[in-house]
Structure formats: C-alpha cells, structure tokens
Structure 1
Amino acid sequence: MKKEIYLAGGCFWGTEKYFESIPGVLSTEVGYANGGTENPTYEEVCYNDTGHAETVKVEYEESKIGLPYLLELYYDAINPVSVNRQGGDIGQQYRTGIYFTNGADEPVIHDSIKKLQEKHREKIAIEVKPLLNYYRAEEYHQNYLDKNPGGYCHIDTDQFEKAKHAADVSRIYPKREQDELKKSLSDLQFTVTQNGNTEPPFQNEFFNEFREGIYVDITTGEPLFLSSDKFESGCGWPSFSKPIDAEKLIDVTDKSYGMVRTEVRSKNSDAHLGHVFKDGPVDKGGLRYCINSASLRFIPKEKMEIEGYGDYLNRL
C-alpha cells in the first residue's frame, strides 16, 4: 500500500536527496508546508515570515518500509532538539516537523517521538501536526542535488550511504501474533520467548552445538548471532561474545529472583532471548550473551545460502 508523510528537516535540497535514497521510498517532492500564505515563492518563505517550513513529501510502500522505521531514519538526518535551525541554516522555514494526512499515523508518530525523547535530555523540537497546507516548490528546487551534484547540503555523506542500505527488519522479518506463535512454537519456545522463562542448563538444544552457521530469532527468522562468536563458557547455555548487530537487541534491567541482571530481548520481535554478563572473554570484548536455545533456530553453514542467509557466509 502506498502511503505518504510530510517531513521538514532543514534545507529541503539535502533532505529530499536523503529520503529518495531509502529503499521502499517511491517518490519525493519538495515544497512549503503549514504556513500562513497561499502559493508562496522561495523568496517569500525565506524573507517574508510566511510561517512555511521547507518540507519533503515522501511517498513510500508500506509493505517494504513502515512509518516507525522511516521516522528513525529521519531522526538520523536531523538535530531533533534544535529550534529553527539545521546545520548552518537558521530560520523558521528550517524547523523540523512531521506533518500527517492520515489520522491513524498520529499515535504512531507520538509514540516514536516519545521513544526519541528518552534518548535526549533536551526537549525534542520536532513539531507534530496534521498537514494544514502544502505548496509544491519551484521546479529548480525539485531533485536539486541530482541537477547540481556539488550543491549545498547540510547532511553528512555517510548518512546518504546509510540511507541507501537501510532495511526495515519489521517488514523483512515481521513480528507474529501470539496465536500464531502458539501454533508454530513448542511450549518451551513459547514460554521462553513470550513469558521470559529460562530453559534448564545443559539440557537444551544448542549449548554444545559448535558447527559453523547462523543463529536466528525463532519467532521471526531475523539473524542474531554467528557461530564464529560462540564460545564454551561452561554455563550450560549457548554463549556468544557479541551479536551480529547490537542494534538488533535491547537491554532491560531484570530484578527477578532477588538479582539485578541485564535481560536481552530482540528489538524487532520483543522476544526474550536471555541475559548478558560482563564475564566473557576479555580478548573478545569481555561480554557473555547467555542465550536460551529455545529462543533460537540454528542454520548450519551448508544450508545458509538456500535459506536466504548467504550474505553472512563470509563472516563465519
């Protein structure tokens, strides 16, 4: 399904180029949004205090990229606590804003902003409003950096590279409903991943599995750990020195059973995986990810290509 969102993030030349680089974005257009005049010109927006924000209209394919992930990428390209300024550009037209046309998007946006605020001490300056008005900018502003490759841009080049390779794992490895998980998982797998239980040590599937391969989230198939980072810890559960990507996991303080530990969950599926401790091999970073076998599915090296994990073969 094609959806749209309007994003203000400073000078729209670079902001448009950034969003058009993201897989799943179908089209972009620059314009002036939520101001107090009709059909403004660029000069009027810059010098006549029209109240418009330089804005990018983003059309995207929801089956390939969801709004929460698109907003995360947006936050990466802006300073979210800066008021009326992005990079060297100063003025109300350079404010940050998320403007929606579908009321169903509003709670999604506010939830996203709430999570962003938790990462910042200063107040988030991004305004969230319905799209009140929008006027397409002059033709020479459309795809400006494609027409002028050396033109001004306030976004770092590494952000463009990240945008080109962005992948919304929630679409690639979608989270499944509880009823579906109950049917597809064993009782142990369900209670461990959904209820935070722990399987017995030394009596689980992968504690002594040391073949080459990849370990994926049992609930979604998302890659989490590689055999090259697995080691024998003697604890009775699979132990890894690091995940494939730390951004795929979230840490949660666990005060159960009279202890204070750090629980590890899958960010995408919210499945309980295990715990992480600081008693791992020093030469590998000093961490020990103690993970339940019931949270994982192991795919041996010889089957990785056919199961769609061939891109990880050179990392074993």
Structure 2
Amino acid sequence: MLPTLWKSFASEVFTFLTTAGATGPEEVPDNPLPDQVNPLGWDSEETDSDLDSDDNQEEAVRCDEDNSSSLGQGVSADQDYQPEDKRQSTRNGRGRAAKAVALRSGRSGLHTELSSAIGVEAQLPGCQIGAVELLTFFPNHTQWPEAGLRLYRNGWKTLDIAKLQLHARNRLTRQGCDKRVAALRHQVLKNGQIFFNDEFFNQTSHAHLMTTVTSYDASNYAPRSTIASSLAPNKLIDIANGVVNWPTGEDRGLVTQAIEFTSENALIQYTTLDIPWLSFQHTFSSPNESLTTTWDHATLQRARQTIEQAGTYR
C-alpha cells in the first residue's frame, strides 16, 4: 500500500511542477567578460577604495559580469589581448566562461601577485627612472597618474605592463596576468580622469592628449590625492625585496645601480631620497638611451623579447 501511495504522490508533484512552469537551476548571466572591443572599460561606480593598493597589497578590482554594458569606451591599444576565459567562451559556452571569470577575477579578496612589492605610498626617487625600473621596483606606482600614463602614451599596452611587473618577481602566469590586466585597465581610466581633470576621460575621445612623453624624470610625479598625506621614503634594500629578474643593459639606470649598491653592501640607511646623491658620489652612469626621446619605446621592444624568451607565460 505504501509504495502505491508514494508513487501516486510523486506523480502528482511532478504534474504540478510541470504545469506550474517550474524551471531548472538558475543559469549564469550570458556576459562573462567586459567587452574586449572596449579594453580599457571603466565602471563609473568604482571608487578609490576599490582600486588603490594598501599595505603592500595589489589593488582589488571588482569584476561584475552583468555590469559590462556600463563600461566606458576603450581604445585600440589593447584590442589584441583577450583573457583566456574570453577565448574559452567561444568553445565551451559563455556560461562556463562566466564561472571561470568569477573564480579568477579576485572576487574573494585582494590580488597577491605583487604582495612582495612596496606600497603605492612609497615616494618615487627624485631622478630619472626607466620604464623597466618603474615596473620592476615600483609596480604599484602605475596608480600614480603621470607615471602610469607615461607608459601608455609611449606605446606600452596593459598586457606589456602586466607581464613585465610579474616577470620581474618571477610570478608570471596567465591567471595572474589576467588579473593584473583587469587592474591596469581601471588604473588608466582613473589616471586619465585625474591627470586631465576630466571625469569622462577615455583614450579614444582624448587621443589628442595621449602624446609621447620624452622626459623620464620622476621628480615631479604626483600621487593620487587619496594617498598624498601618507607618502614616505622607503629603504632601498626593501625596494629590492621580491625582485628576481633585475633590469639589465640599457634598462639598468641610476635607480637600479643605487638599489644594487645598497643591497650588495647591506647599507640599510639609504632611501629613495638618497639616489641622486649616491649616483653622484659613486659616479653611476645613465644609459645612453636615457638621453634620447625613444628610451621607453626601445625598452618596450626589449621587454617583449625578454618575456618571450623566458617562456614563463602559459
């Protein structure tokens, strides 16, 4: 009797659900990634607290798949880059790609790829600094408007910057690179808004402002106002922390030589403010290319070759 009653009850429940229009499990929204045609997409609801680094942690980037249509207009500079999940979407379906993005976009906390680097509140040296030196020793400082925009204006793409930052610390993976690129896309929009004093800045409509930068002196680089009050010089031996692949050749400028000198001789008293004096006292020499207007461009080509030869990007 009981089995008969159970079958009857189950049949009635099934009939009710079917006729009532019950649906299956909720599906993942069908827009897993910001549109790659707008690679520097910016969510106007992002705040500095969402983006800025703190306590040597890389900035946390919110990656809302179902808000991708609100992103700002981008540029052709990064159109050749598509994160792995975007490429997967055409093969495995957009739903599964969305799930992968949620897992890999840092939604559960702060990114840690640059956790060994000094924080964004560290003062930059009052002297010339090369692009590789900036990305190797001060990777978080792409959040300083003039410093970050200098790289974009001189031909560097977000993917180039991300790869070099991670390669310097031997942390270059596709997963880490995807997260860094997402962070850098937010940075370039925020930097442009601040530097050009235009909340509607994007690299397409403001292309006429994105002219080549020919001065490499960091003396006048200013931080965002949100961290200006917490600026402090850092010890040079601390700046070397976590660096595995150091600048070489024409990319080995005064900053690299000063950090090498203090690290090799355990000179703990010197900070970023002492680099000009150390350079004079110990006759450090600037690279020949640093005297030209194309140092950043030449450096970029070397950086791409270095990453390719390293073979660590998978």
- Bin of the TM-score, shorter chain as denominator length: under 0.3
| TM-score, normalising length: structure 2 | 0.27
Q: Which of the pair is proportionally richer in helix?
A: 2
| TM-score, normalising length: structure 1 | 0.27
Greater RCO, CA 8 A, separation 6+: 2
Q: Which of the pair is proportionally richer in strand?
A: 1
